[in-house]
Structure 1
Amino acid sequence: MRLILVQAGLPEPELNWTLRTGTGAFVARLDMAWPPHRVAIEYDGRQHADPDQFRRDADRWRAISAEGWTLVRVLAHHLETPHHGIVTPVRRALDQARIR
């Protein structure tokens, strides 16, 4: 995904970036992040379909959002049309972050 994004002209993301609250509490380890823009991308593989994992993920998404971040979730089928499924939503999130 990183290569797809960079080849599309998007800035290089930080990999496996640790998101913490303002007080330093752990929130999440993000697959890819653009910290200055508070945008992250996460790849959700099949293991995320497990009901227990899905509940943990849902709480995590809420916690990421509560820190003011935009999370772009990517699933396997998004790789079939990477421009539409990955590049466009990440570009939109980065553009909106720059406006704020």
Structure 2
Amino acid sequence: MKKILLVCSAGMSTSLLVTKMQQAAIEKSIEIEIFALPVAECASVADSVDVVLLGPQVRYQKPQVDAVIKGRVPVDIIDMKDYGMMNGKAVFEMAMKLIG
């Protein structure tokens, strides 16, 4: 099963986005695990995820996340508009394209 990690600061709004992304996955009949963690905890799952998406509010921490992931999987920043609108479908599709 593929795993998508969303990296955030506190996790409140990102948790809502996770739910909306899970709904998008269900609509497409794709079995996938999607979860959110703060930047400080992403190292604990770095070896078990297939893609890492950063919330726009923590985009400045991308170099730190890149250092943890070490190029093993794609790391990208969620579009600010999609994040603000909680567009789970668009963010899910972005993640799936990055996974390949």
Larger RCO: 1 or 2 (CA < 8 Å, sep 6+): 2
Q: 1:5 & 1:63 partners in 2: Cα distance?
A: 26
Q: CA deviation at 1:87?
A: 1.8
* Aligned-CA RMSD value: 3.3
Which residues of 2 match residues 1-100 of structure 1 at below 5 A? 1-9=17-25, 11-16=32-37, 29-30=41-42, 36-45=48-57, 48=58, 54=60, 57-79=61-83, 80=85, 82=87, 83-84=89-90, 86-94=91-99, 96=100
Q: CA deviation at 1:15?
A: 3.3
Q: Which runs of 5+ in 2 are unaligned?
A: 1-16
Q: 1:15 & 1:81 partners in 2: Cα distance?
A: 14
Q: CA deviation at 1:89?
A: 0.8
Q: 1:14 & 1:81 partners in 2: Cα distance?
A: 15
Q: 2:98 & 2:69 partners in 1: Cα distance?
A: 13
Structure 1-normalised TM-score?
0.51
Give the fraction of aligned pairs with identical amino acids, expressed as a percent. 8
Structure with a larger share of its residues in strand: 1
Structure 2-normalised TM-score?
0.51
The structure having more radius of gyration, on CA atoms, is: 1
Contact 2:20–2:86 at 8 Å: present in 1 too? no
Q: 1:5 & 1:35 partners in 2: Cα distance?
A: 22
Q: Sort the Cα spacing of 1:37 and 1:59 in 2 relative to 1 into closer, same or farther, 3 A.
A: closer
Secondary structure, in 3 states, of the residue corresponding to 2:33?
A: coil
Moved over 6 A (4+): none
Count of residues in Structure 1 that have an aligned counterpart in Structure 2: 75
Q: 1:58 & 1:14 partners in 2: Cα distance?
A: 18
Contact 1:13–1:34 at 8 Å: present in 2 too? no
